[in-house]
Chains A and B, each alone.
Chain A
Amino acid sequence: MSIPPENKKYELTFWEKIYIPELVKGLKLTLEQLLEKKFTRQYPEERWVPPPSFRGRPVLALEENGVERCVACGLCSRVCPALAIEVQAAETELEKERYPDLFEINMLRCIFCGFCEEVCPEEAIIMSDEYELAFSSREEAIFGKDKLLMPVDKLRPRLNYLHSQY
């Protein structure tokens, strides 16, 4: 058993005893902070704009002609470490031949690792800049195609960033 030795006694000097210089020292530090630039952000009013490198919620790119880019190859669902993505393919008359009949991302499982975006051969699944994800029920958190599709124009900054990287 370890028994601590007696603490060294600390004698206060005269100036420390009257406290006033110490008080002034402390107040000086506080007052200096008043003049400095504010560090905090008034969040709901003052929005935070993420940089293009930010990995927000994954979305599906929607081309201008109203067709999604996804060809339902299923790579994203295979690479997902958290098994959050479900894809069911169906055939189409269009050039790409296959499209996702069902595309669901379970946002309760998603860990925002970005592997799905990395692996996608069509640049169809992209990490957007949306970061406000609050749900009031579990059903709400399963995002189908209705919530996932996003016009490709909105994703331009992220796409440009990705092109500069790879």
Chain B
Amino acid sequence: MLDNTLTTREEIRDLGLRTEEMVLNMGPQHPSTHGVLRLELVLEGEIIRKVIPHIGYLHRCFEKHAENESYTQVIPYTDRLDYLASINNNHGYALGIERLMGIEVPERVEFIRVIMAELQRIASHLVAIGTYGMDIGAFTPFLYCFRDREHILDVFEKTCGARLLYNYIWIGGVSHDVYPDFVKDVADIVKILRPTIKELNDLLNYNKIFIDRTANIGILPADVAINFGCTGPMLRGSGVDFDLRRDDPYSIYDRFEWEVQVGKGEMGTVGDCWDRHMVRVWEMEESCKIIEQALESFPEGDVQSAIPRRVRPPKGEIYVRVENPRGELGYYIISDGTGTPFRVKGRAPGFSNLSVINEISKGYMVADVVAILGSIDIVLGEIDR
């Protein structure tokens, strides 16, 4: 009789039923909010009329802390922004200070950084894909994803001594040189990952139930995505061909052959949850390509020769942006010539990506909020900072 998605209040009233808007709080302890996020849902029956995200439960004053620490001491704090992609965070910050100070980084360091950043991207996407499956109701892919992420974490651990918060990329270099078997281990990981991606496609991505839950849900048109400042898989899922690694190349990304993956609307409309999800899956494959090419020409050398004895950048300011697994991570750093930064502003991709949730979830059902939120792939650590 009634198609829920098209029901308006007027139509219901015509049937002689009384309706009222209801406010439902989802979170901050809800398992599908990926951390401590509270969503205020304004509902009409089961149909969403408005979603108001309330953030700040994980606020740790990163920016204010940075003003009281020396430039090197900020690096462990950047780890804790996007805790699933620590190395990418370190990379952006180190890059900013290096540009301020005009430091040339040795070749080997650049290669290590790119390999590590891409491994981290894969690890982060594996978590995103696994937890998204779990949000939708598929538990097995989650375990498979974590099993394969473990191989990457093992390499990180052997290299820099930590499994989550690495403090690895330092200004002008990296904290530890890679261990002797590094190249072999990473090549093995790539070999393990390729079948995993196929397995994920069979298990989850082309599963009928999964497609029904995600295709045509949470459609984000390209113009809305650009207006809200969405970046990363969120933007590419909407069909916009934009990736900082290619369009504003930093480090040595311009040397590698790879493709920017965009959503094509294979299962529904361009920019739906399925597209955003699949962009992540395809990106893992592209990261594998970058890693393979980097391993082929992995140079020898010293990794710590360019680390400055004291970090004291000249007066000035810089905005540096890198492609995080979640989008454009930016640091705006102002130096006043002393040993501590005058201001460090972080531009978190998750923050802009989350802000669009009200726009893309209107008119869907309550259960779809979980699917939409999962496809945004937020990490509250960087949103609240």
Contact = CB atoms under 8 A, between A and B. Distances in A.
Interface string B342-366: 0000000000000000011011100
A44 interface: no
B73 A115 contact: yes
Contact of B362 (A1, A29, A79): A1
A2 B363 contact: yes
Interface stretch (B98-106, B210-218, B244-252): B210-218
Interface residues of A, number: 27
Contact of B216 (A1, A4, A54, A112): A4
A54 B153 CA distance: 12
Nearest to A131: B163
A81 B69 contact: yes
A10 interface: yes
A53 B269 contact: no
Contacts of B221: 2
A118 B268 CA distance: 53
A7 B362 contact: no
Contacts of B150: 39
A7 B215 contact: yes
A55 B167 CA distance: 11
Contact of B159 (A3, A7, A10, A53): A53
Contacts of A115: 72-73, 76, 167
Interface in B247-265: none
B219 interface: yes
A114 B363 contact: no
Contacts of A2: 219, 221, 359-360, 362-363
Given A81-B69, A81-B73, A165-B177, A4 B159 contact: no
Given A7-B215, A39-B147, A114 B161 contact: yes
A5 interface: yes
Interface string A42-58: 00000000110111000
B167 A114 contact: yes
Contact of A53 (B76, B158, B208, B364): B158
Interface residues of B, number: 39
A43 to B, nearest CB: 14
**Residue with the highest number of chain B CB atoms closer than 10 Å, among A7, A79, A118:** A7
B158 A51 contact: yes
Contacts of A118: 175
Contacts of B73: 79, 81, 115
Nearest to A81: B73
B6 A3 contact: yes
Contact of A10 (B147, B208, B217, B362): B208
A113 interface: yes
B179 interface: yes
Contacts of B161: 53-55, 114, 127
Interface in A3-36: 3-5, 7-8, 10, 29
A53 B215 contact: no
Nearest to B170: A118
Contacts of A90: none
Contact of A51 (B147, B157, B360): B157
Interface in A112-166: 112-115, 118, 127, 165-166
A111 interface: yes
Contacts of B58: none
B165 to A, nearest CB: 7
B19 interface: no
B257 to A, nearest CB: 32
Interface string B149-180: 01000000111111001010000000111010
Interface string B73-96: 111110000000000000000000
B307 to A, nearest CB: 11
B29 interface: no
Given A1-B363, A3-B5, A51-B158, A113 B216 contact: no
Contacts of B216: 4-5, 7
The 5 closest A-B pairs by CB, nearest first: A81-B73, A55-B161, A113-B76, A53-B161, A113-B167
Given A3-B5, A53-B160, 10 more contacts: A3-B6, A4-B364, A10-B208, A51-B157, A53-B158, A54-B161, A79-B73, A81-B69, A111-B76, A114-B167
20 contacts: A2-B221, A2-B360, A3-B5, A3-B6, A4-B217, A4-B364, A7-B212, A51-B158, A53-B157, A53-B159, A53-B160, A53-B161, A53-B179, A54-B157, A55-B161, A81-B73, A111-B76, A112-B162, A114-B167, A115-B73
